[in-house]
Amino acid sequence: MAAKAMLQQPGVERVLVLDCDVHQGDGTAAILADCAAVFTCSIHCQKNFPVRKRQSDLDVALPDGIEDKTYLDIVEQTLHQCLDIVQPDIVFFDAGVDVYRGDPLGRASVSEQGIVQRERLVLSTLKRRGIPVATVIGGGYDDDRWQLAKRHAIVVEQAIALHRASWSVGASLRQDACANIR
């Protein structure tokens, strides 16, 4: 719905939804099936819920127990493929952390460091290409809520780390602007 709303904005003609939750983005695929301006890509474990998958514009089905190196290579390759095909004006990134190897509802086997690398990879690639990104947290299940919250925070931490330099420039510009007004 946010992707569709963005299409009403000037300068936004193509949107990419990159869904890295371990479960297929079946709802997104279904809702946006008829929306040619939004490209949906889901990278998920083949044997995870839902049993009956919907058809995204690009579905990448992963085997059980996939580990960091192979997983990150696939995410990187898929991201570049999508960006080259779609040339999006904005990307929605579902940073599901249920790819974590200890997640009770996920069949992947990605480490916490692997999740850090995934978020850095996606965000830095988009920054390099000058494409705005909206990140949302996705799935992630753990009885230890503190550990789970820390895992969900990774995407925000990586975004802050990556954009800190440009923010400080922005902050000084804002200070200058305020000084001028005074």
The site for Zn ion (CB under 5 A) is made up of 21, 23, 98, 139
Residue number with the shortest CB distance to Zn ion? 139
Closest approach, Cβ 28 to Zn ion, in A, equals 12
In the complex with Zn ion, which residue's Cβ is closer, 49 or 70? 49
In the complex with Zn ion, which residue's Cβ is closer, 24 or 117? 24
Closest approach, Cβ 180 to Zn ion, in A, equals 48
In the complex with Zn ion, which residue's Cβ is closer, 88 or 139? 139
In the complex with Zn ion, which residue's Cβ is closer, 23 or 152? 23
- Provide the CA 112 distance to its chain's centre, in angstroms: 16
Closest approach, Cβ 139 to Zn ion, in A, equals 2
Closest approach, Cβ 97 to Zn ion, in A, equals 9
In the complex with Zn ion, which residue's Cβ is closer, 56 or 86? 56
87: left (phi over 0), alpha (psi -120 to 50) or beta: left
Closest approach, Cβ 22 to Zn ion, in A, equals 5
Where would I find the beta strands (DSSP E) of 97-174?
133-137
In the complex with Zn ion, which residue's Cβ is closer, 20 or 86? 20
Interacting residues of 98 by C-beta distance below 8 A, sequence separation 6+: 21, 22, 23, 105, 106, 108, 138, 139, 140, 141
CB distance 38 to 155 below 8 Å: no
Q: Which residue has the tokens 């998958």?
A: 53
d(CA 47, CA 33): 22
What 3-state class would DSSP assign to 87?
coil
C-alpha pair distances (Å), 68 with each of 23, 71, 90:
17, 5, 27
Closest approach, Cβ 96 to Zn ion, in A, equals 5
